[in-house]
Amino acid sequence: MPRASVAELRRGEIVDGAIRLIARAGYEATTMRGLAAELEVSTGTITHWFATKDHVLAATLEQLADRFAARMAAELEGARGARAQLVAIGDASVPDTPERADEQRVWSELAARAARTPALAVLHERLYAGWRRQIERAVRAGADAGELRVADAAEWARTYAALLDGLGSHALLHPDSVTPARMRAAIRTHVDATLG
Protein backbone atom coordinates (compact mmCIF):
# COMPACT_ATOMS: atom_id res chain seq x y z
CA MET A 1 0.00 0.00 0.00
CA PRO A 2 1.47 3.40 -0.96
CA ARG A 3 2.25 5.73 1.90
CA ALA A 4 0.44 9.05 2.18
CA SER A 5 2.60 12.00 1.21
CA VAL A 6 3.49 14.73 3.69
CA ALA A 7 1.23 17.06 1.66
CA GLU A 8 -1.74 14.72 1.99
CA LEU A 9 -1.12 14.30 5.72
CA ARG A 10 -0.83 18.04 6.32
CA ARG A 11 -3.92 18.83 4.23
CA GLY A 12 -5.82 16.13 6.13
CA GLU A 13 -4.77 17.57 9.49
CA ILE A 14 -5.96 21.01 8.42
CA VAL A 15 -9.31 19.67 7.25
CA ASP A 16 -9.74 17.66 10.47
CA GLY A 17 -9.02 20.82 12.44
CA ALA A 18 -11.56 22.74 10.36
CA ILE A 19 -14.20 20.10 11.07
CA ARG A 20 -13.58 20.34 14.81
CA LEU A 21 -13.55 24.14 14.80
CA ILE A 22 -16.64 24.62 12.61
CA ALA A 23 -18.57 22.01 14.63
CA ARG A 24 -17.69 23.84 17.85
CA ALA A 25 -17.83 27.52 16.80
CA GLY A 26 -19.74 27.63 13.50
CA TYR A 27 -18.66 28.75 10.06
CA GLU A 28 -18.83 32.50 10.66
CA ALA A 29 -16.65 32.29 13.77
CA THR A 30 -14.07 30.13 12.01
CA THR A 31 -11.13 32.11 10.67
CA MET A 32 -7.77 31.18 9.21
CA ARG A 33 -6.15 32.57 12.35
CA GLY A 34 -8.51 30.55 14.55
CA LEU A 35 -7.81 27.41 12.52
CA ALA A 36 -4.07 27.99 12.91
CA ALA A 37 -4.55 28.32 16.67
CA GLU A 38 -6.65 25.13 16.72
CA LEU A 39 -3.79 23.28 15.01
CA GLU A 40 -1.01 25.12 16.87
CA VAL A 41 0.63 26.18 13.61
CA SER A 42 1.19 29.50 11.87
CA THR A 43 -1.39 30.93 9.49
CA GLY A 44 1.32 30.60 6.84
CA THR A 45 1.16 26.82 7.26
CA ILE A 46 -2.55 26.92 6.49
CA THR A 47 -2.23 29.30 3.55
CA HIS A 48 0.58 27.20 2.10
CA TRP A 49 -2.02 24.46 1.47
CA PHE A 50 -5.20 26.54 1.19
CA ALA A 51 -5.19 30.08 -0.19
CA THR A 52 -8.51 31.09 1.37
CA LYS A 53 -11.07 30.01 3.92
CA ASP A 54 -13.38 28.92 1.08
CA HIS A 55 -10.64 26.59 -0.20
CA VAL A 56 -10.49 25.01 3.26
CA LEU A 57 -14.28 24.69 3.19
CA ALA A 58 -14.28 23.01 -0.22
CA ALA A 59 -11.74 20.47 1.02
CA THR A 60 -13.83 19.99 4.16
CA LEU A 61 -16.96 19.26 2.09
CA GLU A 62 -15.00 16.70 0.08
CA GLN A 63 -13.68 15.07 3.27
CA LEU A 64 -17.14 14.89 4.83
CA ALA A 65 -18.50 13.33 1.63
CA ASP A 66 -15.67 10.78 1.64
CA ARG A 67 -16.34 9.88 5.27
CA PHE A 68 -20.05 9.50 4.56
CA ALA A 69 -19.34 7.34 1.48
CA ALA A 70 -17.13 5.05 3.56
CA ARG A 71 -19.77 4.79 6.28
CA MET A 72 -22.45 4.10 3.66
CA ALA A 73 -20.31 1.40 2.05
CA ALA A 74 -19.89 -0.28 5.45
CA GLU A 75 -23.67 -0.14 6.07
CA LEU A 76 -24.34 -1.55 2.59
CA GLU A 77 -22.03 -4.55 3.03
CA GLY A 78 -24.67 -6.75 4.62
CA ALA A 79 -27.68 -5.26 2.83
CA ARG A 80 -29.48 -7.79 0.64
CA GLY A 81 -32.12 -6.42 -1.68
CA ALA A 82 -33.15 -2.88 -2.60
CA ARG A 83 -35.19 -2.17 0.54
CA ALA A 84 -32.29 -3.19 2.77
CA GLN A 85 -29.92 -1.03 0.70
CA LEU A 86 -32.15 2.03 1.01
CA VAL A 87 -32.49 1.52 4.76
CA ALA A 88 -28.70 1.11 5.02
CA ILE A 89 -28.16 4.38 3.12
CA GLY A 90 -30.55 6.04 5.57
CA ASP A 91 -28.88 4.49 8.60
CA ALA A 92 -25.52 5.87 7.45
CA SER A 93 -27.08 9.34 7.80
CA VAL A 94 -28.04 8.99 11.47
CA PRO A 95 -25.87 11.29 13.65
CA ASP A 96 -25.67 8.78 16.50
CA THR A 97 -22.09 9.33 17.64
CA PRO A 98 -20.28 12.55 18.62
CA GLU A 99 -18.19 12.33 15.43
CA ARG A 100 -21.26 11.91 13.21
CA ALA A 101 -23.04 14.73 15.03
CA ASP A 102 -20.04 17.03 14.41
CA GLU A 103 -20.01 16.03 10.74
CA GLN A 104 -23.75 16.79 10.46
CA ARG A 105 -23.23 20.20 12.11
CA VAL A 106 -20.38 21.06 9.75
CA TRP A 107 -22.27 19.80 6.69
CA SER A 108 -25.21 22.03 7.64
CA GLU A 109 -22.93 25.03 8.16
CA LEU A 110 -21.23 24.48 4.81
CA ALA A 111 -24.54 23.93 3.02
CA ALA A 112 -25.69 27.34 4.24
CA ARG A 113 -22.42 28.87 3.02
CA ALA A 114 -22.77 27.10 -0.34
CA ALA A 115 -26.11 28.85 -0.84
CA ARG A 116 -24.16 32.14 -0.95
CA THR A 117 -20.92 30.98 -2.61
CA PRO A 118 -21.21 29.84 -6.25
CA ALA A 119 -18.06 27.66 -6.27
CA LEU A 120 -19.13 25.86 -3.08
CA ALA A 121 -22.67 25.52 -4.48
CA VAL A 122 -21.32 23.69 -7.53
CA LEU A 123 -19.28 21.34 -5.34
CA HIS A 124 -22.19 20.81 -2.96
CA GLU A 125 -24.52 19.91 -5.85
CA ARG A 126 -21.95 17.51 -7.34
CA LEU A 127 -21.61 15.68 -4.02
CA TYR A 128 -25.37 15.49 -3.53
CA ALA A 129 -25.93 14.36 -7.11
CA GLY A 130 -23.64 11.38 -6.54
CA TRP A 131 -25.52 10.44 -3.38
CA ARG A 132 -28.90 10.78 -5.10
CA ARG A 133 -27.71 8.65 -8.03
CA GLN A 134 -26.77 5.87 -5.62
CA ILE A 135 -30.23 6.01 -4.05
CA GLU A 136 -31.83 6.10 -7.49
CA ARG A 137 -29.87 3.03 -8.65
CA ALA A 138 -31.08 1.04 -5.63
CA VAL A 139 -34.69 2.08 -6.29
CA ARG A 140 -34.46 1.17 -9.99
CA ALA A 141 -32.86 -2.19 -9.19
CA GLY A 142 -35.66 -2.93 -6.72
CA ALA A 143 -38.33 -1.91 -9.21
CA ASP A 144 -36.73 -4.01 -11.97
CA ALA A 145 -36.65 -7.01 -9.61
CA GLY A 146 -40.29 -6.49 -8.65
CA GLU A 147 -39.29 -5.81 -5.03
CA LEU A 148 -40.33 -2.14 -4.99
CA ARG A 149 -43.00 -0.06 -6.66
CA VAL A 150 -42.07 3.44 -7.77
CA ALA A 151 -43.21 5.81 -10.50
CA ASP A 152 -40.13 8.01 -10.67
CA ALA A 153 -36.88 6.76 -9.11
CA ALA A 154 -35.08 10.11 -9.52
CA GLU A 155 -37.86 12.01 -7.77
CA TRP A 156 -37.99 9.44 -4.98
CA ALA A 157 -34.21 9.77 -4.52
CA ARG A 158 -34.46 13.58 -4.28
CA THR A 159 -37.23 13.29 -1.69
CA TYR A 160 -35.36 10.66 0.33
CA ALA A 161 -32.15 12.72 0.37
CA ALA A 162 -34.13 15.73 1.61
CA LEU A 163 -35.87 13.60 4.26
CA LEU A 164 -32.55 12.26 5.53
CA ASP A 165 -31.06 15.77 5.66
CA GLY A 166 -34.09 17.09 7.53
CA LEU A 167 -34.15 14.23 10.01
CA GLY A 168 -30.41 14.64 10.62
CA SER A 169 -30.84 18.35 11.31
CA HIS A 170 -33.76 17.72 13.67
CA ALA A 171 -31.76 15.03 15.47
CA LEU A 172 -29.18 17.72 16.31
CA LEU A 173 -31.62 20.52 17.06
CA HIS A 174 -34.24 18.46 18.90
CA PRO A 175 -32.41 15.42 20.31
CA ASP A 176 -35.15 14.59 22.81
CA SER A 177 -37.74 14.49 20.04
CA VAL A 178 -35.76 13.01 17.14
CA THR A 179 -33.56 10.38 18.73
CA PRO A 180 -31.40 8.06 16.60
CA ALA A 181 -33.95 5.29 17.20
CA ARG A 182 -36.81 7.51 16.03
CA MET A 183 -34.81 8.60 12.99
CA ARG A 184 -34.19 4.95 12.07
CA ALA A 185 -37.88 4.17 12.55
CA ALA A 186 -38.86 7.12 10.32
CA ILE A 187 -36.47 5.91 7.63
CA ARG A 188 -38.05 2.45 7.61
CA THR A 189 -41.58 3.84 7.68
CA HIS A 190 -40.87 6.11 4.71
CA VAL A 191 -39.25 3.37 2.63
CA ASP A 192 -42.05 0.90 3.33
CA ALA A 193 -44.90 3.40 2.91
CA THR A 194 -43.64 4.90 -0.35
CA LEU A 195 -42.11 1.86 -2.05
CA GLY A 196 -44.31 -0.89 -0.63
Q: Among 67, 134, 74, 126, which Cα is nearest to 101's?
A: 67
Asked whether the predicted pLDDT for residue 9 surpasses 70, the reply is no
pLDDT at residue number 5: 44
Inter-residue contact 120 to 54 (CB < 8 Å)? yes
For 57-195, the fitting CATH number among 1.10.357.10, 3.20.20.70, 3.30.365.10, 3.90.1150.10 is: 1.10.357.10
Asked whether the predicted pLDDT for residue 179 surpasses 90, the reply is yes
The number of residues making up the chain comes to 196
Asked whether the predicted pLDDT for residue 180 surpasses 80, the reply is yes
Inter-residue contact 91 to 185 (CB < 8 Å)? no
pTM: 0.82
**Domain boundaries defined on the chain:** 57-195
Tens digit of each residue's pLDDT (9 = 90 or more) over 118-166? 988 898 898 889 999 999 999 999 999 999 988 799 999 999 999 999 9
pLDDT at residue number 53: 87
